[in-house]
A and B are shown apart, each in its own frame.
Chain A
Amino acid sequence: MTTTTGPGSRRRRVARFRQRLTFDRISFVAVFLILPLAIFGVFELSPYIQAFYYAMTNWGGFSAEMDFVGFDNFIKLTSDAKFLRAAANSALLCAVLPTLTLVTAFAIAVVVTTGGPIIGRVTGLKGGGFYRVISFFPYTVPAIVIGLIWAQVYDPTRGLLNGFLKLIGLDQFDGFPWIGNVHTAMPASMFVILWGFVGFYTILFVAAIKGIPAETYEAARIDGAGRFRTAVSIALPQVLDSVQTSYIYLGLTVIDSFVYMRVLNAQGGPDFSTLTITQDLHMEAFTRGQFGYATSMGVVLAAITMLYAGIIFLIFRLIRGKDTDLGSAA
């Protein structure tokens, strides 16, 4: 990422150019604001607001009848073992998966951009672009198809994975149900999501690293910094903002995970080990017709999302505080 142009200076200049209220300007602002905001307000904002009300009703969805039940749904959630399991799974997903995905993507990006010889100019690994292109492939495939393919790959007897393991002599995996075993279902499902997303974050990090001034790298090398140190102490701080936004974005995706989990294990996996809140919500709403209750799950989901975002901001604030020296080295 390059050094940013501070937004402050721009703002001052905009302010200096006086904004007179002409018809042209008013009509322009009005039209440009009202059209998009109307769509946003009706189809995104108002459903969110309504959701908070429905969450406090016992609405079944099929009829117009509903009673206001206050926080009853939320109290019921605290003793709903299946929901608690789903919430724990969602928490596990966002604790583990973004880090794994981003570390993998960052490692690939670093090697691809700066993996060349250490002496002299900073160069990428020869042929690194090839890997970058390949690793993006899965991102072009709809999640549903990714899930379908991997469900076949994981098939215990006809799947690619066990076929391969048998080929290299690991016969004990013959018939092993990767997404049907309570211990492996979650890791195996996580891997599918990681597989789908690594490529996207790789190109993102490649872009960010390429934006780092070459002098910064070369100075570090002259100081005798090794590869690992340059990656950690130069590249990482420079892409920190990208990493943070990636964490947030990926976190949102992962807390959802609906498509992947539904395709891999429609009922929530062995002993509900891959059931997510989103699946539970969908079942309650559209299978069991408990719309009020389902919406209260949605509110909890939103709360978990907020909590997650808050934790990420906090962690990054702490990291930034510690790394100020390195960060300002640029």
Chain B
Amino acid sequence: MKKPTIRAIASAGAAALVMGALLSCAAPSSNSGDEPTGGGGGEVTADNPFGLAAGTSIDAVVFDGGYHTDYVDFAGEVLKAKFPDVTVKVTATSEINAEMQPRFVGGNPPDLLDNQGAQQIPLASVIESLATWDDLWEAENYEGVKISDAVYPGIRETGTYNGRFVQVPYVMTAWAFYYSQSLFDENSWTPPKTWDEALTLCESAKAKDLKLFVWGKEAASYWKYLALDSAVKQGGVEIVERIANLEPGAWDDPTLRSVLDKFKQVIDNQCFIPGGSGQQFTQAQAQWSNDKSALLYYTGSWIENEMAQATADNFQMTAWPPLVVDEATAALPFAAIDSGADEKFVLPADSANIAGGKELMRAMLSKEAASNFAKTRLAPTIVKDTVPADGFGSTALASTVKLISESGESTFSWSFGGYDTYYAFGPDELVIWNAFLDGQKTVDELIADEEALGVRAASDANVEKVKYSF
């Protein structure tokens, strides 16, 4: 049932980044209306659709990661222009889970929560404590346009689990290899298309005393996304669909295995900078962006902003699609990439000022706040038409946009609102992938370990299952 229109989402990703390219496909709008409007105490008007009461304060907790948190402060100011006597408090943290779980259990969660990053709360454990965003989608934005029309299509589907629209992903994101164009030009290298080309490039890099890839321990799972994205391109999205639906044997797929065998060869040929399993991920990333000792890094489009403090001059950060095993037999064209909306905002049902949480998100979706985000973070939000044609002069953004437009209809987006965060696989998968990347695990062991996670989740009667269809 979930995500009936994969096309819509795929197009959404493309549309977001292909500046101004508006897609005509309509956003499927379904108004379940099963949620009570969070009592704000104020009068409900078109201008105050959730009844935000005067004199209240809004408590927002925002993941302090690649995008930092001041964009929410900015939205808070936009809100206060409309509601001068409301205060907005934005708390920045990256230890979402450790800090928020006691507040959820204790009955005083924040009014708005950005549940993101390595320490995010697994959705399965918290979904019943969340309110839905249905009435936000029906409300008008600060420019008087219905919000569901002002954002790219498919967002609601990305944030819907078992029929409940509980997450608003705020930022358009793409997964890709990023590399230094200047470094590649100096050495007359071209980025690889297949795993075999990657192995060849690895040898050329070694000759220069460089490595092909690098990983850090909290971000080992980025390489899982490469493996699965590569398998999707080679064999189709059904491979990850089976994995997401916890089907037994889903990881033991011949296409996926062919990808993992190549991956293992890359590891065994020592194409990774060693030691990632013991290194903080931003330090590892700095080896690629600051030292240029690794050629390619598979990551999300937030990377440019995240590493802005530690990127070498004239790096010319550039995006490139994930690898395939064999271009001739691949299910999707090489240009296909994994792209969708991320940075998931949720609305705790027990919060003191639920109307405030909704109103703050409405402010974030205003043209002013969304444009500010796009300009300062070099990434587009789900709000349409906020990135000008020049891409703010960023090579990373420009090349990501180019990638997205080339990917077009072949874009897939299984990793957004993903099953792995829903079922809290994150911590265990980090352990598995760190060991694999460190050369400590065979492909068979990796598959067995991943299978075991699926079996455990599938047999856990306390966790409600989600039926995914990509």
Question: Which residues on A are within 8 Å of B, measured CB to CB?
Answer: 58, 60-63, 82, 151, 154-158, 175-182, 185, 265-272, 283, 286-290
Contacts and interface: CB of A to CB of B under 8 A. Distances in A.
B125 A175 contact: no
B446 to A, nearest CB: 12
Contacts of B343: none
A30 to B, nearest CB: 35
B104 A156 contact: no
Interface stretch (B145-153, B157-165, B427-435): B427-435
Given A156-B275, A287-B122, A270 B128 contact: no
Given A270-B438, A270-B440, A271-B435, A177 B277 contact: yes
A287 B426 CA distance: 11
B273 interface: yes
Contact of A179 (B102, B121, B278, B428): B278
Given A62-B128, A286-B101, A287-B424, A180 B278 contact: yes
Contacts of B344: none
A60 B435 CA distance: 31
Contact of A181 (B218, B277, B424, B430): B277
Given A60-B462, A157-B275, A283-B427, 15 more contacts: A61-B105, A82-B428, A151-B280, A155-B279, A156-B274, A156-B276, A175-B274, A176-B275, A176-B278, A177-B279, A180-B438, A268-B427, A268-B431, A270-B277, A290-B462
Given A286-B101, A286-B102, A177 B278 contact: yes
A283 B428 CA distance: 11
A4 B122 CA distance: 57
B35 to A, nearest CB: 18
Nearest to B129: A62
Interface string B116-157: 000101100110110000000000000000000000000000
Nearest to A182: B440
B453 to A, nearest CB: 11
Q: How large is the interface on B (under 10, 10 to 19, 20 to 34, 35 or more residues)?
A: 35 or more
Contact of B278 (A58, A156, A266, A288): A156
A158 B275 CA distance: 11
A62 B283 contact: no
The 3 A-B residue pairs whose C-beta atoms are closest, nearest first, are: A177-B278, A180-B278, A156-B275
A271 B440 CA distance: 9
Contact of B431 (A178, A270, A287): A270
Contacts of B233: none
B316 interface: no
Nearest to A61: B105
A201 B183 CA distance: 54
B289 to A, nearest CB: 14
Nearest to B102: A286
Contact of A156 (B218, B279, B435): B279
Interface string B415-456: 000000000100110110011001010000000000000000
B91 interface: no
Interface string B448-469: 0000000000000010000000
Interface centre among A176, A268, A270 (most CB of B within 10 A): A270
A258 B104 CA distance: 23
Nearest to B119: A266
B245 interface: no
Interface centre among B126, B277, B427, B462 (most CB of A within 10 A): B277
A65 B410 CA distance: 46
Contact of A158 (B128, B276, B283, B430): B283
Nearest to B452: A81
Contacts of A283: 427
Contacts of B97: 286-287
Contacts of B129: 62
A235 B194 CA distance: 69
Interface centre among B125, B275, B283, B438 (most CB of A within 10 A): B275
B451 to A, nearest CB: 13
Interface of B: 97-98, 101-102, 104-105, 119, 121-122, 125-126, 128-129, 217-218, 273-280, 283, 287, 424, 427-428, 430-431, 434-435, 438, 440, 462
Given A62-B128, A286-B101, A178 B278 contact: yes
10 contacts: A62-B104, A62-B129, A156-B279, A158-B283, A177-B277, A180-B276, A267-B431, A271-B435, A287-B97, A289-B462
Contacts of A270: 277, 431, 434-435, 438, 440
A272 B441 CA distance: 13
A154 B231 CA distance: 35
A270 B287 CA distance: 22
Contacts of A158: 283
B212 to A, nearest CB: 15
Nearest to B218: A266
A180 B434 contact: yes
B283 A157 contact: yes
A181 B287 contact: no
A199 B427 CA distance: 34
Contacts of B424: 287-288
Contacts of A180: 217, 275-279, 434, 438
A184 B287 CA distance: 23
Contacts of A154: 278
A64 to B, nearest CB: 12
A176 B278 CA distance: 8
Contacts of A58: 462
Contacts of B427: 266-268, 283, 287
Contacts of B283: 155, 157-158
Contacts of B122: 287-288
Contacts of B98: 286
Contacts of B287: 157
Contacts of B101: 286-287, 289
A289 B100 CA distance: 12
Contacts of A267: 217, 427-428, 430-431
A268 B119 CA distance: 14
B264 to A, nearest CB: 17
B104 to A, nearest CB: 7
A272 B126 CA distance: 26
Contacts of B273: 157, 175
Contacts of A182: 435, 438, 440
B300 to A, nearest CB: 20
Contacts of B434: 180, 270
Interface centre among A61, A178, A267 (most CB of B within 10 A): A267
A156 B216 CA distance: 11
A284 to B, nearest CB: 10
Contacts of B440: 182, 270-271
Contacts of A289: 101, 125-126, 462
A57 to B, nearest CB: 12
